[in-house]
Copies of this chain bind each other. A is one copy, B any other.
Amino acid sequence: MPQGQVAVVPQDGLTTRQRRNRPLLAVHTGSMKGKSTAAFGMAMRAWNQGWSIAVYQFVKSAKWKVGEENALTALGRLHEQTGEGGPVVWHKMGSGWSWSRRQGTEVDHAADAAEGWAQIKRDLAAEAHRFYVLDEFTYPLKWGWVDVDDVVETLVHRPGTQHVVVTGRDAPPALVEAADLVVEMTKVKHPMDAGQKGQRGIEW
């Protein structure tokens, strides 16, 4: 929780206001729950600012994220109807690959992921949105389906004021290095340790 105190006043020739409004590249990583959930929570703040929000969901599942998708897209519809908040688009990348790589072939998944990343690049170049969630995007990076150097280069040099949040385990070091904000979600205790499986409304 910010108290408004900064550790260092940088010698970058910028005013506090200029620095304050710099576009943010955030990474939510670590082995524990909350990485995507916190990103979608941030999207609520962005919505409230009237910003255009885009979610690119890189891992598919029949049920995961459906709650967040329905709630955020409902906020997007509210914007269309009343002008309140901002617009929301939710992209599902690829046609059916999951992080466990159990469905389809690896070649298909790699092509789907590359196509998803190509769309993000186009949107960033066009400054199509103000707040981006690249959900579970670390997995295609980890598996070599999308080139890490290309991602870092593109994100670092993105034009305008576009905030980007990348989520997923095992964020590559070059991405962590490039990011302004990196949070690691670590496990203290999880119900699965006590034999409890995921449940509706909590896990999805």
Contact = CB atoms under 8 A, between A and B. Distances in A.
Interface of A: 1-10, 12, 16, 19-22, 24, 27-30, 32-34, 36-42, 44-49, 51, 59, 64, 66-68, 70-72, 74-75, 78, 84-85, 99-100, 130-131, 163, 169, 176, 179-204
Copies in the complex: 2
Contacts of A22: 196, 199
Nearest to A24: B202
A180 to B, nearest CB: 5
B198 A4 contact: yes
B78 A2 contact: no
B42 A71 contact: no
Given A2-B203, A9-B195, 13 more contacts: A2-B197, A7-B195, A10-B195, A24-B191, A27-B188, A33-B183, A34-B41, A36-B41, A37-B37, A37-B41, A42-B202, A183-B188, A185-B185
